[in-house]
Structure 1
Amino acid sequence: MHREVKVLVVGTGFAGLGMAIELKRTGERDFVVLEKAGDLGGTWRDNSYPGCACDVPSHMYSYSFELNPKWSRMFAKQPEIWDYLKRIADKYRLRDHIRFNTKVSGAKWDEGAKVWHVKTEGGDTYTAKAVVAGVGALHIPNIPNLPGIDEFEGKAFHSAQWDHDYDLKGKKVAVVGTGASAIQFVPQIADDVEKLTLFQRTPPWILPKTDRSINTWEQKLFRAVPATQRLYRNFVYWMRESNVLGFAVNPKIMEFAQKIAKRHMHSQVRDPRLRAKLTPDYTMGCKRVLISNDYYPALQKRAVTLNTDGIAEVKAHSIVDKAGVEHEVDAIIYGTGFHVVDSFDYLDIQGKGGKDLAKSWKQKGIETYYGITVSGFPNLFFLLGPNTGLGHNSVIFMIESQIRYVRQCLNLLDRHRADELDVRPDVQARFNRQLHKKLTKGVWTQGGCTSWYLDAQGINRSVWPGATWRYWMRTKNVKAEDFTLTRARKARVDA
C-alpha cells in the first residue's frame, strides 16, 4: 500500500497524540499517525510492571487543554495514565488517523519533489510533506550484555517488557539495576519471592514521595469549578519550576535537597552499613532524582539482599558476583532503564544530499535547533528531541511548546507557498554554542557522576539546561529568518 499525506506523525504517546490533536484543532485533516504496536500509549502502554507510576504530580502530567479532574492519586499509576491517553484519543477521534502495527523503518528526503518518502517494516510506503517524530527517547530498553547470559536457563526480561504470565511467587529473583523502575517494582514483588538479590552499581538519591489519594470532594470541586484545578496546576508548576535553580543555576543549592534525602534514608534504614551502601557519592541531580516511601523498607525485608559487588558472570541457574559468591537464580529482571542518547543510532533517515542523520550525530555529536529541527533535514520535526528532557518538571509542558512550534512551521510553509523549510546552519550552530555553555554550569556535568544524560564524550544531550518557561517563551513564535524556505523545482517552473 502507498499513501500520500501532508503530515506523517510517528508514535502515539503524549507527544504523537498531542501533535495529532493540534493538527485537528487547527483544521488539518490530511495526516496519518503510525504506531508500531497494536494499541496507543507509548511509554504508558509498554511499562506495565508492578507499581509503575509517574514521578510527576498527576495534575501537571496532563495536557493543559485537557485537565483531568478525576485523578485518583497525587502521583497517578500507569493504568490511570494509559486510560487518560485512550480517553483523549477517543474524544478527538484520533483512531481514525492511526495505523497500528506499523513500524517505520526509514525515511528519505526527495530533493526534487521536496517530500519525504517513508517506508515501514510491513512494506507500506508513504509520501509526506512533513514528518513529525513523536517517539521520545524512553522506548528502547537497555539490556546489559552480562557475561554468560546466553547460558542462563531461567527467565529473563526487562521491566518495560514485563512477563505477566511468569509467576514470581516462591522464585529466587535477581534484579539488575536500581533505576526509576526498580525502586517501584522491587517493593511490589519483595513479599512474593523466596529470595530477591538486588545488584546495585550506583545508588540513587531518593526523596520522600508526597503521595496520597485525592478526596472525592476535591474531584467534585475540580469538575464543578475547573478554574480551581487550573490554579492548583499552576501552583504545582511553579513549585517544581523553582527546582531549576539547583539543577541549572547553582548546583550547591542541591545540598539542601540532599539533606532531606539523607534524613529520609536515616528515618527508614537503621543499619549503618546498609545506609553506607545506599548513600550516593555524587551531587543530587546529575543523575535522575527518584521518589519513594517503600523502597528502603523493602530492602530490609528478610528475603531481600542488596549486592554492591557487581556481576562477574551468569551461569545456567545462578549469578556469580565479583567477590566470587554464587547466587542461585530462577529469574533475572532488568531495571536498567533505556537507551537514551544512543536511541538515535537506529534511525535510518537520509536528508539533503543523502546525509545520514544517525551517522552524522554519531560522528559530530547530536545537534538540533531547540530539539525540534535539524539543519539539512527539511520538514522533519522531533518532539521531545535532544536536550528537551527535564529533571525538575513535567515534559508534557515541553511537548505542548513543541507541537505549537511545529504547527507554526507548517503554517509558515503554507503562508510562503513553500515546499521546504530548513533551519539555517549558522542559526543551529549559534543555538548549540549557547546551549552547551549553559550545560557546563549545571549539575549534570559538575555533579561528579555519569548518567544516561551524557553521551560518550560526557556531553549532556538529553536535558534542557534551564527553566521550562524560558523554553516556552523562546519557542512561542517561529522566526522565519531562522529558516530557508524553498519551493520545489516544478513549482518554480510553473511560477
Structure 2
Amino acid sequence: MIGKDRRILVIGAGPGGIISAYQFREAGYTDVKVLERDGDVGGTWQRSRYPGLSCDVMIHAYSFSFNLNPSWPRSYASQPEILEYMRDTVDMLDLWPMIHLNTGVSSATWNDDDAEWVVTTTTGETLVADIVISAQGMFGEVKWPDIAGRDSFSGELIHTGEWPHDLDITGKRVAVIGGAASAVQSIPEIAKLADTLYSFQRSPQWVLPKEEFPIPAEQIEEFRSNPEALQGYRDAIMNYIGPNAPFSNKEILGGAEWAGAVAISVIDDEKTREGLTPHVPWGCFRPLFSNDYYPAFNRPNVELITDAIERITPNGIVTADGVEREVDIIVCATGYVVDKFASRIPFTGRNGRSLDDEWVDGPEAYLGVTTTGFPNLFMLYGPNNNAGSLIQMAEYEVGYVLELLSQMDSDGIDWIDPRREAMDVYNAELQQAIAGVDVWHAGCGHYYESPSGKIVTQYPYSMYHYRDSVANPDLTPFETGRK
C-alpha cells in the first residue's frame, strides 16, 4: 500500500513510540497503531521504579522537541517526573486513540507475495502492516546474575528493573549485587531505610558528580510566558551535548577521571575508598553520575563487599572467603540484556530468514535503523545508535523514516530493503571508528559487546554527526519493490 493510508504498526509506547505516533500523525498518516505490552505508556520509565531512579541526561535535552516542558524544577528529573511527563504528552497531544495497551507482539513475519508484515499479538490477534517500527529500545529485558543457588533464597529476590510497587525495605537487611547505574542510584536511597546494606561489587566504576541544580522560580516563569526563552535554553544544552564525542576527547577523559578521583576522596574508610577506586579509564564502562553514591559508604549501616560471590543460600549470600551474610532482601542491580534490539521479538524476513540467525555474530543495521532482509522494518535506538539524548536520537530516526516513506510514496514504491553491500560498508566504517575509541577496548567486558565481542550498542561519533548522516536521505542504498 502506498501513500498516507499505509498501515503502520509501532511496537512499544515508550519515548520512541510516542515520538512515532505524533510525528506520523503530523505527517498525515491515518492508519497508525502503537502496541504496548504493558498497561501504561513510558517504556522503561514505567517498568523501572527503583528508589533513586533518574535520568543522567539534563532533562531539557531529554524532552520531546514538540512538547517542551517549561516547569521542570531541576536540571535532572526523577523517574516519577519523567513518567508523568510521558503521560501528560500523550494526553495533551491526544495520542491515546492510537495506543493499544496490554498488547504485546508474539511474532512478525514478512509476506513476500503481498509485501506486508503479518503480526501476531499476545492477545491472539493477527494484524497486517505495510510498515513496522520497532520502538522497543534497549532496556526491555532485565539481566539476572548467573549465581549458584539464586532460586533457593527464601527472602525477597528482586531486580531493579522490576522493582515491586509494594516492597518495603524499612529496617530490613538488604544486599545489592552490582555496581553500575541502578546500584549507584538506588544504594543511597536504600541505605536511608535499611537496617543494613551490603554492596556486592565485582568491578569499581567511575561515578562522577552530577551537575544538578534547581531551576530558579523566575526562570521557570519566564519559560512559561516566553516559549522562545525555553527553546533557547534547550538549544544551548543541545549545542553542548550534540557536537561532542566525549570518549575520543583526551581532555574530557582526563577531566572526568580527575573529577571522579575527587568525588571518591570523600569516603572516610581507606579500604572502602580503595575498593571503590577504578583501575580502568573513564568511559571503559558506561558513564555514571551521582552526588550521593560515595557519601553513602560513610554511613555506619553500609558495607562494601569486594570478595566474589560463591553462591546464594536460603538465608543470604556466601562469598569466596566462606563468609555468609544473612539478608532479608537481595536486589540484583545487574542491568539489562541490551544486545537484542528488535530481535527480542521473533522477526522472520524475506525467504524465511530469522532475525536471530541473521544477527548471530551481533546485531547490525544500516544507520542503526534498517537491516538487510527485513523490508519496511525500521528500528528506533537500534544497533550502534547509543549517543547523547535517547529522545533526540529517536526524533532523528523517525524523521529519517518519514523522509524515506515520502520518497517511496513519490516513486510508487511499496517496500525498501537495505542492500547488503551498503549495510556492510556502513558497518565496516562504523567498527573501524569504534576500534579507534581506546577506552572501549580497555578490558572491561561490558554490555557494549555482543557475545561475539563486537561492540553493538555504541555510536562512535557525536549526536550531531548522526543527525547529519540521516538528513536528506535517498533510496540508492536500498533494494526497492512494488506489489
Shorter-chain TM-score: what band? over 0.9
> Residue 108 of structure 1 contacts residue 117 of structure 1 at CA under 8 Å; is this kept in 2?
yes
Q: Percent same amino acid at aligned positions?
A: 36
Counterpart of 1:493 in structure 2 is none
Q: Distance in 2 between matches of 1:400 and 1:5?
A: 20
How far off is 1:218 after superposition?
Answer: 1.0
**Structure 1 residues 435, 342: closer, same or farther in 2, change over 3 A?**
same
- Residues 253 and 212 from structure 1, CA distance in 2 versus in 1: closer, same or farther, beyond 3 angstroms? closer
Give the structure 2 partner of residue 491 of structure 1: none
SS of 2:181 mapped into structure 1: coil
1:50, 1:184 within 8 Å by CA — same for their partners in 2?
Answer: yes
Distance 1:400 1:443, change over 3 A: farther
Deviation of the 1:213 alpha carbon: 2.0
Aligned residue in 2 for 1:186:
187
1:387-466 to structure 2, matched below 5 A, reads 387-390=384-387, 393-466=388-461
- Correspondence for 1:374: 371
Aligned counterpart for 1:351 among listed residues 344, 349, 352: 349
Preserved CA contact (<8 Å) 1:168 1:192? yes
- For 2:270 and 2:313, locate their aligned partners in 1 and report how far apart those are by CA, in whole Å: 33
Secondary structure of 1:191's counterpart equals: helix
Match of 1:321 in 2: 319
Alignment of 1:28-427 (within 5 A): 28-241=29-242, 243-244=244-245, 246-247=246-247, 249-251=248-250, 253-266=252-265, 268-342=266-340, 346-362=344-360, 364-390=361-387, 393-427=388-422
**Alpha-carbon distance in structure 1 between the residues aligned to 2:128 and 2:108:** 9
Is 2:308–2:319's contact at 8 Å kept on the other side of the alignment?
yes
1:492 maps to what in 2? none
1:314-373 deviation per Cα after TM superposition (whole angstroms, max 9, x unaligned): 1111110111111001110111111001455533101000000012102x3322101100
Deviation (angstroms), 1:420: 1.3
2: distance between equivalents of 1:163 and 1:91? 29
The whole-number CA distance in structure 1 between the counterparts of 2:216 and 2:236 is 18
Aligned letter for 1:297? Answer: P
Mark the CA change 1:334 to 1:386 in structure 2 (over 3 Å): closer, same or farther.
same
Alpha-carbon deviation of 1:447?
A: 3.1
Deviation sequence 1:368-420 (CA, Å, 0-9, x none): 10110011100000000010012xx2121211110001111222221121211
Amino acid paired to 2:281: T
Q: Residue type matched to 1:374 in 2?
A: T
Q: Give the gaps of 5 or more residues in structure 1.
A: 489-495
- Which is worse superposed, 109-118 or 283-292? 283-292
Structure 1 residue 79 displacement after superposition? 1.1
The offset of 1:444, in angstroms, is 4.6
Shift of 1:145: 2.7
Seen in structure 2, the aligned counterparts of structure 1 residues 262 and 243 have a Cα distance that, compared at 3 Å, is farther
- Tell which deviates more after alignment, 232-241 or 218-227: 232-241
Describe the superposition over 1:50-92 as per-residue Cα deviations: whole angstroms up to 9, x where unpaired. 1111111111010122211110111011111111111111122
Q: Are the aligned partners of 2:138 and 2:381 in contact in 1 as well (CA < 8 Å)?
A: yes
Q: Residue 299 of structure 2 aligns to a residue in which SS? A: coil
- Contact in 2 for aligned 1:285/1:443 (Cα 8 Å): no
Counterparts of 1:187 and 1:224, CA distance in 2: 37
SS in 2 for 1:387: coil
Structure 2 runs not aligned, ≥5 long: none
Contact 1:251 1:443 in 2 (8 A): no
**Partner letter of residue 25 of structure 1?**
E
Give the distance between the partners of 2:31 and 2:165, measured in 1 at CA: 39
When the two structures are superposed, what TM-score results if normalisation uses the length of structure 1? 0.94
Task: Supply the distance in 2 between the matched residues of 1:451 and 1:251 (Cα, whole angstroms).
Answer: 21
Residue 26 (structure 1) aligns with: 27
Asked whether the 8 Å contact 2:404–2:474 carries over to 1, the reply is no
Q: Which residue of 2 aligns with 1:6?
A: 7
In structure 1, what is the Cα distance between the partners aligned to 2:454 and 2:439? 9
Q: Aligned pair in 2 of structure 1 residues 87, 469: CA closer, same or farther (>3 Å)?
A: same
Moved more, 28-37 or 223-232: 223-232
Matches of 1:151 and 1:394, distance apart in 2 = 40
Within-5 A mapping of 1:463-478: 463-478=458-473
Distance 2:115 2:242 in 1: 41
Q: Is the 8 A contact 1:344 1:358 kept in 2?
A: no
- Give CA deviations for 1:16-39 in whole Å, capped at 9, x if unaligned: 110111011111121100000011
Give the aligned length.
479
Q: Give secondary structure in 2 for the equivalent of 1:84.
A: helix
Q: Which amino acid aligns with 1:47?
A: S
Q: Aligned to 1:485, what secondary structure does the other structure show?
A: strand
Letter in 2 for 1:106: S
CA distance in 2 between counterparts of 1:22 and 1:94 reads: 11
1:443: Cα distance to partner? 3.8
In structure 2, C-alpha distance between the alignment counterparts of 1:382 and 1:178, rounded to whole Å: 30
SS in 2 for 1:173: strand
- Determine if contact 2:243/2:464 at 8 Å carries over to the other structure: no
